[in-house]
Chains A and B, each alone.
Chain A
Amino acid sequence: MKKIILFSLMAVLTFTQCTPKLADATAKADDQKTQVDKKAEDMADKAADKTAEVAQDFRSKVPAPGPAPKIQLGSYDNFKLSNGLEVIVVENHKLPRVSFQLFVDAPSISEGEHTGYIDIAGDLMSKGTTTRKKSQIDEEVDFIGATLVTDADGIYAESLTKHTDKLVELMADVLLNPSFPEAEFDKIKKQTLSGLAQEKEDPSAISRNVTRVLRYGKDHPYGQIATEATIGAVTLDKCKEYYNTYFKPNISYLVVVGDITADQARPMIENYLGKWKSSNDIPKPTFETPQMPEKTSVDFVDKSGAVQSVIAITYPLSLKPGETDVIPASVLNTMLGGYFQSRLNQNLRETHGYTYGARSSLRSDRNVGFFSAGASVRNEVTDSSLVQFMKEFNKVRDEIVGPKELELVKNSMSGQFARSLERPQTVARFALNTFRYKLPKDYYATYLEKLSKVNAADVMAMAKKYVRPDRAHIVVVGNKDDVVEKIGQFSADKKVNFYDPYGNKVELKEQSLPAGLTADKVIASYIQAIGGMDKVKEVKSMSMTMEAEFQGMKLVNELHQQEPNKYSMSLSMMGSVMQKEVTNGEKGMKAGQAGTGAVEGEELNEMKERALIFPELTYAEKGYKLALKGIEPVDGKDAYKVNIESPSGKKSTDFFDAESGLKIKSMEEIDMGGQKAYQTAEIQDYKEIDGVKVPHTMVISGGGLPMALTMKITDIKVNNTIDPAIFKVE
């Protein structure tokens, strides 16, 4: 609710985000009660002198409100150009400025294998016209201190009143004569691709994508998501085709807000946009309406290394704007999970401390609406959180809401409505919705009246209709090992479905291990696979250089191992060493961002262990605990999964190709500032060096890395003589 703003570059941005405060996340409700009565620690007692002489009666309770003010909805004018463009004008002369929103009400269309091209087309429109280069557009917009942006839905432009004519001229040029320059197209595509690369590592983005695919299905436009492949397939022609087909006046609205009258706006708009040609063959594709699933499923996406599970409980529903149910259903949703004091947030955050915030949405839409409730929760409370979600869903369905709570919800909603009217844009939005959804003329004017009439029975009826824990997708993105066993109970058939990050179903084969197979045998066949015990034992030293590209920079990792206990590793970026670790077998040191220092004790022992080229050879003698955990697919191959715990308690998991015996993946638990995280290495490209197979490529991910890092060996020497200076500890 209240946000604390730091004065920083990002401060003003965060100001607008309404993330709930974390307050009280750890305090239990009961504790609060006992503490409220306890005044011993009370600071105010110490400052009692301030209060002494003040007569207090009126201070003891909240003042009664004055008579309710009359909420006046601003009015609008509208007219239609001969080409079919509907113009809505909302006058507001408080400030000398005007804004124009051109909204192209195009139907939803299937983008299929080119998903993402509509957004790129919209972005491109302001990047050049037949008579202006991008730089000219930029200069002319800035010269009048204006804003002009384009997207797939149209154009938004605003400026001071005195620059209106120039602004509309620029807007019309961008709208009617875009040139779709190739170079700008390439730039936007590149930026979109790097955006997607970042999302890959983000569990919330994965949840958003998978949720959409499951809720609507891939055949419906709402269920289509952009991937690297689909963006790669976007062509300039596709973008032009979209513009040429759908940017037409007879399906568009121009919403004008501010210091202007309809009489002033009309000739100007006629002049600049009158020549915009309408079209009679705008396709109106239809799609099968997505339905709620027959029964509740648990749909899981594995994000190894995740420390939180992202939960979304969701399904499509049929609720169109303007239907009678919309307002009572929104009261229901606000109460359940739509504001800070909502039941879900109070339960999961304030009472149980499972999350920073839990919320729900219930949206109407002219094609298909949806319900969604969710939270990000610690791994270990994933199942407990689902229990609480279900409890709140059932409670809202089965128990009638009390008058006090209903009043709080409705007061909060009417206040929000009243406050929103301060902005003339709100009036404009209401007008646009009234047109688009063919709402009754007084739909918004009577909103507060309709809201005040919603009663407890209505809320319950809405809950029974729209809160359907029995017909939901429970989408969980999280760490499979920590989470998946405990959540099957929430699906109707007690099973968990697995999906990849793009919502494609993944078949997990339930495979039983070959009889008699043990972890030791898996390790033994690995040694055999890389060259056999004799050859492997002969390797006493190794030096290698690995390189990776990281956002255009070259990362170089240099590693030297001399058995039994000499080791040196350095990591440099753009030529300068960022991290270094060395031990000469007696002493150790490391240097990095935290400074340079000696390494001692357990940490030194661990460092010496890293001198071992094939640590597997010493597992038995050193007392490592190994456990064979089963068969799991790695990159489409079946692999044996072995959990390994060192004598000092360090945990890792290795995966061995069932067919070749080679180690193909390794996950190591690391400590990131007190939080557990996993770093994963995919081990590939084995090549033989002096009779021993050494992997030449490692793809590292997780553990705080923003994106996967592909390290490739550029130089390797086995059984070489290593200059002793390399292991020197200063």
Chain B
Amino acid sequence: MKPRILLLAFLLLGLTAAQAQMNKVNYTEYTMDNGLHVILHQDNSTPIVAVTVMYHVGSKNEKPNRTGFAHFFEHLLFEGSENIARGEFDDYISNAGGMNNANTTYDRTFYYEVLPSNQLATGLWLESERMLHAKVEQVGIETQRQVVKEERRQRIDNRPYGSVLEESMKRAFTKHPYHWSVIGSMDHLDAAQEEDYVNFYKDFYVPNNAVLSIAGDIKIDEAKAMIDQYFKDIPKGTKPIYRPNIVEPPLAAEVRDTVYDNIQLPAVVQTYRIPAQGTDDYYAVDMLSTLLSQGQSSRLYRALVDEQQTALFVGNFPLALEDPGASIAFGIANMGVSLENVESAMDTEVDRVKNELISEREFQKLRNQIENDFVTSNSTIAGIAESLANYHMYYGDANLINAEIDRYMKVTREDIMNAAKKYFHKDNRVVLYYLPKPTDP
């Protein structure tokens, strides 16, 4: 009912990019002969287990004329396998008392099940079927094409501000595949041929491109034996895996544009290009975003929403991406306030960070907020399994689940000021004005 609450939820939930943990997370990891990396975390406090597989393929691995394919594939891989008839995937999960889910990003695709712990074998069986011999029939392809089109309508076309990311990224990037969206082009999906499916599966859905991460009520030795049974014989991929090595040139000059959307309140969107996740500068940018956006005492919220009341909502969200990415600042104008006014107020707050070193107290607040987020982020076994897989896949170091906080704590007040100067300047950004779509009166 009240939009600000919804938007606050976006803000809070959008800020889960970085994850760590204060209580040490113990784990065992090893790589099988076929290249499958396995990570096991034992926590017997609740009799449930999360079985997850992360494939190192996202929209950035797609061919430019087949955008949206990675995500489409994720839909298809629920269709069935040699041993699982179409539509039965969900029944096996429900019957076992479990739940399942999956998602795709620019960089990777992630599948998971949470099951009662005596159903671990069922989870492994389902995931091994998906990796070994998934089966997709024409009827499934046609149905899922429709489903993805409905999904696009629901998530992007029909949701207020749903196109912000797509519209921003396509202007912030011109060469790197981040310039197309994860859901991609519906025309490309229509044009896809059988060989596209076969090749994509053969290229990317191989054990040497995956991490099997399991957390919960397991015994390590028993789990290992079961994993061996279901995954040992899955053959290793034979081809090199395509990883784009494309360096996006600097923007050089500010890009400005207007987008008309099904919205009620106009918004300004500033997209700044930022470094890749895991770099020293990324951590500084992330803390800069926390300073600007997290909590009602944050710089942007206090100035624009509370004091000037020019914005209904404002925030800045860095995207943690494997290659250099972007941080998106987003302000929704209050009734009767011009976007110019909102934009200049946002700029003023960024300029303040560039010109005045933040106080010790505010710096301490940032560190406390970061610490709190770390502790809170791994409160479920499914979350721990995903974090372990992430840290291994992107950094080759699953222990960052315990240690990444140190990287944040190394960031100084000067680093935050320098990050603002280095990345949050006009020539490094795209500015979009979102306006309500006109209708013939």
Which positions in A face B, CB cutoff 8 Å?
1-16, 21-27, 31-32, 35-36, 38-39, 41-44, 46-47, 49-51, 53-55, 58-72, 94-97, 134-135, 138-139, 141-146, 159-160, 163, 187, 191-192, 194-196, 198-199, 339-341, 356, 407-408, 411-412, 414-416, 418-419, 421-423, 546, 548, 550-553, 555, 557, 571, 573-574, 578-579, 592-593, 670, 679, 698, 700, 703-707, 709, 711
A62 near B297: Cβ-Cβ < 8 Å: no
B94 near A408: Cβ-Cβ < 8 Å: yes
A26 near B146: Cβ-Cβ < 8 Å: yes
Instruction: Enumerate 20 A-B pairs (CB-CB under 8 Å) in ascending A order.
Output: A3-B101, A6-B104, A8-B155, A15-B103, A35-B139, A42-B135, A43-B201, A44-B135, A49-B235, A59-B125, A66-B119, A68-B116, A68-B118, A69-B116, A95-B22, A95-B23, A142-B365, A341-B91, A411-B97, A551-B335
Which chain A residues border B435 with CB–CB below 8 Å? 573, 578
A414 near B71: Cβ-Cβ < 8 Å: no
In the assembled complex, B264 has its CB within 8 A of some CB on chain A: yes
Chain B min CB distance to A564 (Å):
22
Q: Chain B: interface secondary structure? A: mixed
Q: A195-B1, A419-B48, A700-B439 are in contact. List 6 more A-B contacts (CB 8 A).
A: A4-B103, A12-B14, A27-B143, A38-B137, A416-B97, A419-B99
In the assembled complex, B418 has its CB within 8 A of some CB on chain A: no
Which chain B residues border A1 with CB–CB below 8 Å? 90, 99-100
Which chain B residues border A6 with CB–CB below 8 Å? 71, 103-105, 155-156, 165, 181-183
A143 near B147: Cβ-Cβ < 8 Å: no
| A579, B182: Cα distance in complex, Å | 31
Which chain B residues border A54 with CB–CB below 8 Å? 132, 233-234
In the assembled complex, B16 has its CB within 8 A of some CB on chain A: yes
B335 near A552: Cβ-Cβ < 8 Å: yes
Which chain A residues border B117 with CB–CB below 8 Å? 66, 69
| A371, B16: Cα distance in complex, Å | 37
Residue in chain A with minimal CB distance to B155: A6
Residue in chain B with minimal CB distance to A576: B258
A50 near B132: Cβ-Cβ < 8 Å: yes
Residue in chain B with minimal CB distance to A559: B441
In the assembled complex, B395 has its CB within 8 A of some CB on chain A: no
Which chain A residues border B246 with CB–CB below 8 Å? none
Chain A min CB distance to B259 (Å):
9
Knowing A42-B137, A43-B198, A552-B337 are in contact, say whether A422-B132 is a contact too (CB < 8 A). no
Q: In the complex, which of the residues A27, A35, A141, A195 contacts B295, with contact meaning CB atoms closer than 8 Å?
A: A141
Contact string, B400-441, partner A, CB cutoff 8 A, digits 1/0?
000000000000000000000000000000000001111111
B441 near A546: Cβ-Cβ < 8 Å: yes
A414 near B133: Cβ-Cβ < 8 Å: no
A55 near B233: Cβ-Cβ < 8 Å: yes
In the assembled complex, B399 has its CB within 8 A of some CB on chain A: no
Which chain B residues border A573 with CB–CB below 8 Å? 435-436, 438
B139 near A31: Cβ-Cβ < 8 Å: yes
B334 near A552: Cβ-Cβ < 8 Å: yes
Which chain B residues border A44 with CB–CB below 8 Å? 81-82, 133-136
Which chain B residues border A38 with CB–CB below 8 Å? 137
Q: In the complex, which of the residues A71, A146, A574 contacts B338, with contact meaning CB atoms closer than 8 Å?
A: A574
Which chain B residues border A546 with CB–CB below 8 Å? 441
| A43, B2: Cα distance in complex, Å | 48
Which chain A residues border B201 with CB–CB below 8 Å? 43, 47
A142 near B71: Cβ-Cβ < 8 Å: no
Knowing A135-B306, A195-B3 are in contact, say whether A66-B94 is a contact too (CB < 8 A). no
B198 near A59: Cβ-Cβ < 8 Å: no
Knowing A97-B375, A135-B306, A422-B381 are in contact, say whether A69-B438 is a contact too (CB < 8 A). no
Residue in chain A with minimal CB distance to B125: A63
| A4, B73: Cα distance in complex, Å | 11
Interface members, chain B 226-271 (any A CB < 8 Å):
229-230, 233-235, 260, 262-266
| A187, B13: Cα distance in complex, Å | 25
Which chain A residues border B106 with CB–CB below 8 Å? 7
| A677, B369: Cα distance in complex, Å | 48
Knowing A95-B22, A143-B364 are in contact, say whether A46-B198 is a contact too (CB < 8 A). yes
Which chain A residues border B296 with CB–CB below 8 Å? 134, 138, 141-142
In the assembled complex, B311 has its CB within 8 A of some CB on chain A: no
Knowing A195-B3, A709-B441 are in contact, say whether A142-B116 is a contact too (CB < 8 A). no
In the assembled complex, B129 has its CB within 8 A of some CB on chain A: yes
B436 near A550: Cβ-Cβ < 8 Å: yes
